[in-house]
Amino acid sequence: MIVGFGEIMARITAPGFRRWRQALPGSVEVSWGGAEANVCAALAYWGHPVRFITALPDQAVADALVASLQSLAIDTRWIVRREGRLGLYFVEMGANQRGSTVLYDRQGSAVSLAEPPEYRWPEALAGARWVHLSGITPALSQSAFQAALACARQAKSQGAHLSVDMNFRKKLWRWHAEIAPRDLARQSMPELLALADLIVGNEEDAEDVLGIHTEGTNVHTGQLDVEAYGQTARQIARRFPQVRWVAITLRQSYSADYNGWGALLFDSTREELCCAPCDANGSYTPYLIRDIVDRIGAGDAFAAGLIHGLVSWPDDVQRALAFATAAGCLKHSIAGDFAYVSVPEIESLVSGQSGGRVQR
């Protein structure tokens, strides 16, 4: 059983590439999203037994959300129903030199109000082989941070592997009036990361959460030094000696529609560093993703792919990373947060079939 804990929200997207001033009044697109739920949705879609834990209000829209999760065969029995609201987030899709924008409306959500004992962690995590958390839910409130920490501690006490995606969000981490968001994240997140077997992030997360700067890299101009990223991964592993794997996604943003995409994984036990995708000579060669449909959730698809790979091929980290990177790449072609891409589609891309031909 793979278990995720975190906030899931209603995602409200302006149609096409419209700005909100153009789209409203009018129809909008409503779906579901949230970092930890995105990971669970992908893993369930790939056939893993998955449980998702969160807190939701007891009302009709939340009922529809739960039904959507159940349609993916996700175990929802440990979702807490309580006072509070359903979090929302609003998305304008970017194009060319205009980036996408996200507006959060999640203050007072059920997850942000729930106290750790409400989740009954020993029972909720029974049978868990792997537990996944992110840095987003702990950023909502002190009680949400404490709940994530209680989840992590219980997971480790029951022998489960723990993955934590650092996922720093500068618009969050505002639950302490006297501490700036980045400083609050730097004070809080190490408690979670000190329990993790797998840490996932990018170069911005490493700097914002841990104060580790990746030299010689500017993702906004496409400048990227893979060896410098490797050193960043090693620094993270040295700071948290219990960690087995450190994964860093490598994104080069040429425009909203055109990105380079790849990743590296450091196995601290074997002192092994690998990258994906690679060319025939084994050199890092990123996927060049043009005409992006939706990049939101790509990092979560990557995290899900890595969990899938490490569970499926624990002795072949290169294969696990290749699968994860391809999963993240293909998510860019899917609208919405959830990665509706199949294992055969991902494995086809890993094998080099990237032409996008019609499958008949």
pLDDT value of residue 357: 59
pLDDT value of residue 140: 97
DSSP of 65-98, one letter per residue?
Answer: HHHHHHHTTEE-TTPEE-SSB--EEEEE--BTTB
pLDDT level of residue 143 (50, 70, 90 thresholds): very high
Output 186-193 pairs: Cβ under 8 A, ≥24 positions apart: 186/210, 186/211, 188/138, 188/145, 189/135, 189/138, 190/239, 190/240, 191/149, 192/133, 192/135, 192/138, 192/148, 192/149, 192/152, 192/164, 193/164, 193/166, 193/240, 193/243
pLDDT value of residue 71: 97
Shortest CA distance to 336 belongs to which of 288, 298, 290, 287? 298
- pLDDT tens profile 95-109: 999 999 999 999 999
CA distance 39 to 136: 13
pLDDT level of residue 218 (50, 70, 90 thresholds): low
pLDDT above 70: percentage of residues in the chain: 96
pLDDT for residue 358 is more than 70: no
pLDDT for residue 183 is more than 70: yes
pLDDT value of residue 212: 86
- pLDDT tens profile 227-236: 888 889 999 9
pLDDT value of residue 352: 83
pLDDT level of residue 342 (50, 70, 90 thresholds): very high
> The domain 2-350 belongs to what CATH superfamily?
Ribokinase (3.40.1190.20)
- pLDDT tens profile 6-16: 999 999 999 99
pLDDT for residue 89 is more than 90: yes
Q: Which residues contact 255 (CB under 8 A, 6 or more apart)?
A: 96, 97
pLDDT value of residue 220: 55
pLDDT for residue 219 is more than 60: no
Higher pLDDT, 311 or 356: 311
pLDDT level of residue 290 (50, 70, 90 thresholds): very high
